[in-house]
Structure 1
Amino acid sequence: MPSPSEPGGLVWFDAPPPPRATPLLSRERIVAAAIDVADADPRGAITMRTIAARVGSSTPMSLYRWVGSKDGLVDLMVDEVYGQFTVPDGDWRAGLRGMGLSGWAAVQRHPWFARMAFSRPPLGPHAIALYDAALGALAGLQLDAATRMGFVNTVLGQLLGSGLALLEEATMRHRAGVRSDEQLTDAARPYLERITAEGRYPHFIAWANDPGRNAPAPPTFEQVLDWQLDGLEALACER
């Protein structure tokens, strides 16, 4: 297994404590700067050089003493966002619903999180505390261990999938130079007019030209979460 200082190594495994903070550098300052950089980039991209400039360090290499590697920095960033999730007290449904909604708020603040969370194991202290609290909310149900984790991952999977879609759409819009749905519609209009005239995709064109195609509006994350919880509740009642 790679050490924490090597690419792919997990910062949580046998990592020595970071050096004592200096007036310029600390693990907390580096992670906060990295999150600011990722938040500001439409793709959620980070480079050690950009982060070093943000904290006022003369060289990117100086950051590695505190985070081990770029992968180690990603571990720390992801876990920081996991710390923004909450599992409120109450019954299991309220706990998982609160986890989903607080997570969705965090993902909207930090869209890059969904992609980075898929790329690194959730083994940081905040992530494990979140899983512990969510599994604790389910402890009163007569469910086996795999099913309990399945309930938690159903909510987290929807959250991360929706977050990844949010990030990729923002990336696409940035790359295409469009900022609004209206601009995207205007950009696509000549193409849609052409394929309408060709008549090659009658069902798609019928939908695209239907003035009511967006009514009702697509379900919100909260609506989809409630549908999922309805299904999990029905499953729990069968056990």
Structure 2
Amino acid sequence: MAGRIVAALCALAFFFTAAASRAADRDAPYAALLAAHVADGVVDYAGLKKDEATLDNYLAALAAVDPAALSGPERFAYYINVYNAWTLKLILEHYPGIRSIKDAGNLFRSPWQRAFVRLRAGTVSLDDVEHGILRPQFHDPRVHFAVNCASKSCPPLAGAPYAGATLDAALDAAARACINNPANTFFKDGTLHVSRIFDWYGEDFGGPEGVWRFIRRYAAPPLAAAMDAAGRHELAYTPYDWSLNGR
């Protein structure tokens, strides 16, 4: 019996190792695109446009993936990469005549509601990926710092694909970087000003007090000290800059 259990565990470990290797190979072209065209969250869309065929091939590879065959972290990382890569494609479809992702929508439908994201199960929208898959299936508010809306106030686009093996650390890093950016989080007149993401998705963080605790968890020492010294847990939400996150 013990031998069979050990054999089963070894087979399972081999399966997940092989799956991670396949994911890394699949994501390699996307990694190269990010390395070449993204710096500190700023996207060189003119350069990326020249490599659009590579992005298209990567999107086709993503569409061939069976998410059910992935482990939980790999599946989570997969859908984050789906969201971000297809957002880049959306911008490129309108580039260079686009100044905001909102320009990709119209009076009747926002860009996030357009069904153009190809998955193995069918064609869906960015909203379907974020609000129909990522948020309800994984219940991790850090996702809001990983998905990128191609806008200056959005948490910056990561310079590398997300991967299951390093997902937890990468999500922590994304949350920490956004929260400790003084343009996003600062005190003024005793009120903590934070990204409007915490307003739009407050329920994911557990309401205002949950937002405070979440920010405190990732706060660097100067911000943490200011939060601990605050006499009240009052929040204000900063305006959102929807202009394109490009050069």
State whether TM-score is above 0.5: no
Larger-gyration structure (1/2): 1
Structure with higher strand content: 2
Structure with higher helix content: 1
- TM bin, normalised by shorter chain, reads under 0.3
